[in-house]
Amino acid sequence: MMPDIRNLYLLLTIILLTGCGSTPVSHYYMLTTTVQLPITPKLSDAALIGVGPIRFPKYLDRPQIVTRSTNAEIYLAETDRWAEPLQENFTRVLAENLSLLLGTERISIEPSRNHDDVDYRITAEILQFDAGDNGEVVLLVYWSIQSRDGVNLTGIQKSEIRLPLSRSVVRADIVIKLSETIAELGSEIAISISQITTKPTQVNTP
């Protein structure tokens, strides 16, 4: 009987050691486009819009999804990660949203083109883009629209977008809500672009 007991202890020890040494499974997420309908009027097909650069704070420049507590403590989700750099994902989704909202495919992610080729350039400085334990996600951003010759057409605009989270929140819900904040930001920018492009041309009379 003694050899069987020793073998049983050995087997249990191996199982415990294997369990302790296993690596937790990581989950990867991406922001997505959530808008569907264009705003009116449709942007002229002749206009080319550049999106970027979109600058992010250092605390978000990491693969882990970031959340925060009400006392300003930051949490890094080691097993819940972005599938690509967050800055690139955010910029592309914003560009896709604007393409749908403005009804145009003439959208360029900057700085991929010569400045002189772009009719309107959107730049942004992200201050906050995360979820908190107070039950909401937040996008806080300063943005502007510049003309081809570098003139700021809108001034520095501030958008603070807050969306509620469900009580039983999971990481996928946070990513979906963060995507929705980009859609709302895109709507604000698209309305401004539409207003700029539809302003009547002033004619100087003698």
Domain residue spans in the chain? 23-195
Count CA atoms closer than 13 A to 122's CA, side-chain side: 28
Query: What does the block give as tokens for 136?
Result: 């909401």
Radius of gyration of the chain from Cα atoms? 24
Query: What does the block give as tokens for 124?
Result: 């942004």
- 52, 147, 171 from 82: Cα distances, Å: 20, 33, 11
Query: What does the block give as tokens for 54?
Result: 């979109």
Please name the residue that has the structure tokens 């507590």: 69
pLDDT score of 1 more than 50: no
CA angle 31–35–38, rounded 5-degree value:
145
pLDDT score of 44 more than 80: no
pLDDT score of 20 more than 60: no
Q: Work out the burial of residue 181: count CB atoms within 10 Å of its CB; fewer than 13 is exposed, 13-18 middle, 19 or more buried.
A: buried
Dist. CA 41–CA 38, nearest whole Å: 8
Global pTM reads 0.83
Neighbours of 37 (CB within 10 A): 8
125 CB-near residues (< 8 Å, 6+ apart): 55, 141, 142, 143
Query: What does the block give as tokens for 86?
Result: 């967050």
Which residue type does 193 have? I
Q: Residue count of the chain, please give it.
A: 206
Query: What does the block give as tokens for 82?
Result: 């972005």
Please answer whether residues 171 and 165 qualify as being in contact, where contact means their C-beta atoms are separated by less than 8 angstroms. Answer: no
Band the pLDDT of 86: cuts 50, 70, 90: very high
pLDDT score, position 50: 94
Nearest Cα to Cα of residue 45 among 108, 106, 89:
106
Band the pLDDT of 107: cuts 50, 70, 90: very high
pLDDT score of 17 more than 60: no
pLDDT one-digit tens code per residue, 30-43: 999 988 776 666 67
* CATH architecture observed for domain 23-195: 3-Layer(aba) Sandwich (3.40)
pLDDT score, position 37: 72
More confident: 163 or 44: 163
- Helix, strand, coil tally for the chain in percent (to 5): 35, 30, 35
Band the pLDDT of 134: cuts 50, 70, 90: confident
More confident: 136 or 171: 136
